[in-house]
């Protein structure tokens, strides 16, 4: 077995972002809006045994640059460990508020 990397592999970040999208409310709303039907050929999603068929969601404008998105995750969220500190929830809230940030993710990061 190889040496464990010091940082989270890019493949894991990409997989996590993909899972976030696959479970997102926005994706589900698009599918419901289109009544589980392909907007090009009209084929409907089916769960019937032997006729299983799932529709997918496509970004009309595409996802412009996966690498830039992943770079931003590394820069803002997965920064080097020497730029992080361990805090209790109360101190984390106080630190976040003192930095003037909106604390909508208290207790998560």
Taking the chain (109 residues) in runs of 10, the rounded mean pLDDT of each run is 82 94 96 97 96 94 89 92 92 89 52
Nearest to 55 by CA among 72, 38, 33, 30: 38
- One domain for residues 87 and 73: no
Q: Is residue 19 part of a domain?
A: yes
The angle subtended at Cα 86 by Cα 81 and Cα 74, nearest 5°, is 30
Does residue 1 lie in a domain region?
no
92 and 44: one domain? Answer: no
Rounded to two decimals, the pTM is 0.70
User: Does one domain contain both 57 and 87?
Assistant: no
Residue 22: inside a domain? yes
Please report where in the chains the tokens 């589900």 appear, as a residue. Answer: 28
On whether both 72 and 51 belong to a single domain, the answer is yes
C-beta of residue 53 within 8 angstroms of C-beta of residue 38: no
- Same structural domain for residues 73 and 24? yes
CA distance 87 to 91: 6
Q: Identify the domain containing residue 14 by its residue range.
A: 10-78
């Amino acid at each position: 077995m190889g040496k464990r990397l010091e940082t989270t592999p890019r493949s894991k970040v990409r997989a996590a972002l993909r899972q976030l999208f696959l479970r997102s409310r926005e994706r589900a709303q698009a599918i419901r809006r289109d009544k589980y039907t392909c907007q090009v050929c009209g084929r409907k999603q089916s769960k019937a045994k032997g006729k299983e068929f799932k529709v997918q969601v496509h970004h009309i404008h595409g996802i412009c640059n996966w690498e830039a998105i992943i770079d931003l995750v590394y820069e803002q969220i997965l920064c080097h460990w020497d730029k992080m500190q361990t805090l209790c929830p109360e101190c984390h809230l106080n630190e976040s508020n003192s930095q003037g940030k909106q604390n909508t993710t208290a207790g998560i990061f």
